[in-house]
Structure 1
Amino acid sequence: MKLSSDLKALETRIGHKFSRPELLVRAVTHSSMSSPTRDDNQRLEFLGDRVLGMVMAEALLAQDRDAREGQLAPRFNALVRKEACADVAREIDLGDALKLGRSEMLSGGRRKLALLGDAMEALIAAVYLDAGFDAARDMVVRLWGARVHQVDDDARDAKTSLQEWAQARGFKPPKYDLIARSGPDHAPIFTIAAQLENGETEKASAGSKRHAEQAAAQALLTRLESA
């Protein structure tokens, strides 16, 4: 199989030339472009998530030989979550190489966090199947780079951190209320308000309720910690 110029450029950016180029094509094919003769990247995403987890677990153990499980777990979660995968995908311009259906293209699919994160995991699996674990590990360590060394000891998501802030002061857990929904059905925007028992509140909007909740929690945390 002959790769297109955009996929050859992607090979250069990730530092891996495929012996089985069909794996790369599958890794960048979204389900909106699948057909009986064209596989999408969902199964590769499932595998890539596990390969990434193994690489990150090894890397964290090697980096800090004295760290306890309670320190390692939040670091691990920060490095393998979808947001981290999407950040790496943006750095290598993975979105430019994605094969998307018309509806996904029109709704900005090349920039969607979930879609980019899934494709990054699929790409890891493609390298693993093409050349083995060592090749996949080398690519992941290279692309994640300084993230492994800079990840915070308490790298928790914003909702967890806000709940801990509230509990430490004797408050009930924060509440998250959907206060608005806008945009078309294929690209909705949700606005969520995060509120504490003492009345402190912040709002944020995102393309999913989960991401809007995280953004609202982070906005409230930022204000509380700077007060």
Structure 2
Amino acid sequence: MNKTETFKKNPYNVNNRLITESDIINIMKSLNINDFKINNIVLYQTSFIHKSYCRLPEYSEFEYPGAPCLPLQEKSYETMEFLGDSILGSVVSSYIYKRFYEIHNQNEGFLTKLKIRIVCGETLSKLSSDLKLQEHLVISRYQEEQCSGRRNLNMLEDVFESLIGAIYLDHGYQVTSDFIIRVIERYIDFTDILLIDNNYKDQISRYFQQVFHVYPKYENVKNEDDKFICRLYNGDQLIIEGEGKSKKKAEQDASKNALVHFNVIT
């Protein structure tokens, strides 16, 4: 089902509620950040609102059912996600430089590989789940019931980045950096992450050469959400699609999906 058809579905979802100050404080306390103050709760609430639960022309035919159902919202988390993605990359780069170059004198290749593995969608969606951010997502009923809802990995990745954006807008860079580093040091096992081969594009390339004696072909297009859809082909045969915020991420996602399709990974 495409996006237009999705937004023709009744969006109202009784499972939604806006995140509260106490929810945010509890997330911070779980990271031993005990003096966190909230200046603007609306920033944090917006950081959990998916576009599917915003006031859209496509939803005009549906009548608001009233409380306790949450009304459709004015803004989604998309711009905060964009901001959070940039800040996350900066903080992670600085952190691994100090920890692995200044202390252990690791080279640029090592640092680049480590950063890629920390900021990849798989890791970020896990961090989001570790913090239980999915409990606070505001999504349409269709997203909840038909699109993996609060288990959707892309959505979990997005909301982790958008929360970072909200913290930055409320408190600035230093507090945001402290939050990110606390999450990294609490939930990331660097021994495990360095052993994981999550360069799915390399893996599917090796598989194609071994089995089909050709390289996979990729075709990238932008969708209506301004994200990239990558189609992976064996010759002229479409095998699978992937999605990402950049061509690189979309190609990795398509490659991973192809590996699952061919039962190389589960």
- Taking structure 1 as the reference length, the TM-score comes to 0.71
Partner of 2:99: 63
Partner of 2:172: 132
Say if 1:161 and 1:60 are closer, same or farther in 2 by CA, change over 3 A: farther
Contact 1:127 1:135 in 2 (8 A): yes
Gaps of 5+ in 1: 177-191, 196-203
Partner of 2:200: 158
Contact 1:14 1:143 in 2 (8 A): no
Matches of 1:29 and 1:38, distance apart in 2? 9
- Name the one with the larger helix percent: 1
CA RMSD, 1 decimal: 3.7
Farther off after superposition, 80-89 or 152-161: 152-161
Partner of 2:80: 44
Q: CA deviation at 1:215?
A: 4.8
The aligned runs of 1:171-210 (5 Å cut-off) are 172=213, 174-175=215-216
Corresponding pairs, count = 197
1:149 equivalent among 183, 190, 194: 190
Write out per-residue CA displacement over residues 22-49 of structure 1, whole angstroms, 9 at most, x where no aligned residue. 1101100111112386211000000000
1:21 equivalent among 32, 37, 41: 41
Contact 2:19 2:45 in 1 (8 A): no
The residue type equivalent to 2:171 in the other structure is: A
Contact 2:205 2:216 in 1 (8 A): no
Contact 1:6 1:97 in 2 (8 A): no
Say if 1:91 and 1:153 are closer, same or farther in 2 by CA, change over 3 A: closer
Contact 1:95 1:110 in 2 (8 A): yes
**Secondary structure in 2 matching 1:64:** helix
Write out per-residue CA displacement over residues 129-150 of structure 1, whole angstroms, 9 at most, x where no aligned residue. 1111111111111112252733
Contact 1:85 1:117 in 2 (8 A): yes
Gaps of 5+ in 2: 1-16, 30-35, 57-72, 218-230, 244-249
Matches of 2:125 and 2:195, distance apart in 1? 21
Q: Give me the identity figure in percent.
A: 21
1:35 equivalent among 55, 65, 79: 55
Say if 1:158 and 1:212 are closer, same or farther in 2 by CA, change over 3 A: same
